[in-house]
Chains A and B, each alone.
Chain A
Amino acid sequence: MARYLSIIDSAYRATIEEQDDTAVWFTHAMKNGGADVSILLRGDAVNYAVSNQDAKGVRFGARTVKGPDMVRDIKAVVEKKIPLYAVADDLAERGISISQLIPGVEQIQRRGIAKLIDGHDHILTW
């Protein structure tokens, strides 16, 4: 069975309409089906690893929007034992400290991405 690495760098693109990040969701669905998957958050997507994200409160007239719960979804990825990495350099550039991160997110240095890619058979670039 092949090992898949989802590299996610697009962030908050359609999350309100979809009530999910569709790349995180897709990868989780692959895992549910039995696939061997890992996730690397890079670029702005490292923000998905931050606690206390809150997208509630959107409404259009009488229609409320439940919104995504990225903290719930990232915790679910961790609980499902999908290896979840975030690029440490990208976190630092964005002023995100370790104390702000959801537990279970493993930091890797930017220079370590090549090795991570080499350890997987197929790369999904989201």
Chain B
Amino acid sequence: MDNSIDKLKGQWKAAGSGSQPTKDTVEDIIKQSQHKMKKAINMHVGNIAILSLTLIGLSLFFYYLAPLQDALSHVGITLMLGGLLVRILIEIVSIAKSKKIDMSSSIEKTNRQYLGFHRYRKNIHGSITLGILFVYSVGYYLLMPEFANYFSRIMLIVLIFSYIPVFMIFGFFIRKSIRDEMKCLDELIDERSKIQE
């Protein structure tokens, strides 16, 4: 056995003797690294910006254009805006968690960090996002009694039923995100068993 391993070591050394870096690659790597970091920041900031703009837009809408008066409507508005605010906070925590993953740790530790991150993401995409969507929807429908005072019956029916496809589209994306996170978790658990077996 040891002889054959020594033989393999010899082959391994011989196989690795030819690879040398080219001169311009260090500059390329630094540029690519900066580009990758910028892209990641833009993506995270983009998500938060979209959610924040929606929150600001809705707040301005309810403050200036549709200052609803009923207590039930106020509860509805609070639920809708509160749901969005919680989602923004979750997104910020998610970014902080992803930044904590250290690629220079041991395989076991990095695997544990990834597992923690994807479990968190699975919960966010699953029960928490569904909860937020439910709270947001309840908030939306709580506005309808007061809307009934200002809109025609047909307009009210449109407002009530047009929300259903939006809800279904959200549901589809939530399901897809959970599946992606589950796949990733399965891979990480499988990798963990290979480390520990």
Do A and B make up one complex?
A: no
